[in-house]
């Protein structure tokens, strides 16, 4: 618990905010920050943030929104996102966002996970934007040419991954801090479920319709590609993320090559097995 207790000090150190650091406020912040993350303190919506993605989807029942924050929480968070490029995923950005929307500084306590809520909100809202880009702006729509070949699932996956990575462009320099915070042991489950939700959305939007064990392997490989590309992106200084794009292209090709090899090997074993069984049967064995 050492780190959360330091948060108020960090806020005090920040010259921009120092005038707001009255003793009461930092005491309150210290108290709330040092109380262990108790489930009872969190609103129900936050406790059950997890598997909204796994439910039955239907055109007759609207999709659930990509996150479960309440209105005032979303207001603060979306205003805070504007301050992320300058202040990073910190309490400062949250406080500034709360102020912009006319909330008191202390209303940052509406977000029990603090900065991590800001990160989760960033991820979830960008995921929503990606969905909207495909469904409303026709990101993946093919050109009007008569002979246009529809893009394969891999190509669409690559396009979507790059689209999502480009959304991180403005906050690229802050993203390593966010990744560090996301890899805190207590934050890992939520980070992973958000990553799964993203890869699941990407594959769905790319038109993947696998209904067997490859459902799992495909999601795993897209998650791995996306997560590693994110790390590359934080150090990518090439114009328009060209280096990251090249990286993603290579990884997608790799995963396709591995998948092809595996399915080829499986097919070969299947043929050999059925040949052996057929041979045995033709010899009159009761198998």
Applying CB under 8 A, which residues contact other proteins? 54-67, 71, 74-75, 78-79, 125, 128-129, 131-132, 135-136, 200, 204, 209-213, 215-216, 281, 286-287
Smallest distance from other proteins to CB 203, Å = 10
Smallest distance from other proteins to CB 277, Å = 8
Instruction: Kindly tell me which of 9 and 55 has the beta carbon lying closer to other proteins.
Output: 55
Instruction: Kindly tell me which of 17 and 198 has the beta carbon lying closer to other proteins.
Output: 198
Instruction: Kindly tell me which of 10 and 281 has the beta carbon lying closer to other proteins.
Output: 281
Smallest distance from other proteins to CB 154, Å = 18
Instruction: Kindly tell me which of 215 and 232 has the beta carbon lying closer to other proteins.
Output: 215
Q: How far apart are CA 48 and CA 46, in angstroms?
A: 5
Smallest distance from other proteins to CB 153, Å = 13
């Amino acid at each position: 618990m050492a780190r959360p207790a330091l948060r108020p000090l960090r806020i005090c150190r920040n010259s921009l905010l120092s005038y707001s650091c009255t003793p009461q406020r930092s005491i309150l912040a210290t108290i709330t920050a040092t109380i262990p993350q108790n489930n009872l303190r969190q609103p129900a919506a936050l406790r059950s943030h997890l598997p909204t993605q796994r439910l039955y989807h239907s055109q007759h029942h609207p999709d659930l929104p990509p996150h479960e924050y309440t209105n005032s929480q979303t207001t603060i968070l979306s205003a805070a996102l504007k301050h992320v490029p300058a202040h990073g995923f910190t309490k400062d950005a949250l406080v500034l966002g709360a102020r912009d929307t006319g909330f008191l500084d202390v209303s940052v306590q509406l977000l029990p996970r603090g900065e991590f809520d800001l990160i989760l909100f960033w991820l979830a809202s960008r995921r929503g934007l990606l969905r909207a880009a495909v469904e409303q702006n026709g990101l993946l729509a093919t050109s009007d040419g008569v002979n246009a070949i529809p893009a394969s699932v891999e190509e669409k996956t690559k396009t979507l991954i790059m689209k999502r990575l480009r959304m991180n462009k403005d906050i690229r320099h802050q993203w390593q801090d966010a990744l560090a915070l996301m890899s805190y042991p207590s934050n890992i489950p939520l980070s992973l479920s958000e990553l799964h939700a993203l890869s699941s959305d990407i594959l769905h939007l790319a038109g993947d319709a696998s209904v067997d064990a490859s459902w799992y392997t495909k999601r795993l490989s897209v998650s791995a590609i996306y997560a590693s590309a994110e790390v590359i992106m934080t150090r990518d200084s090439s114009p328009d993320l060209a280096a990251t794009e090249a990286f993603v292209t290579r990884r997608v090709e790799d995963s396709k090559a591995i998948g092809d090899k595996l399915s080829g090997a499986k097919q070969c074993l299947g043929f050999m097995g059925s040949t052996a069984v057929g041979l045995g049967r033709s010899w009159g064995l009761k198998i």
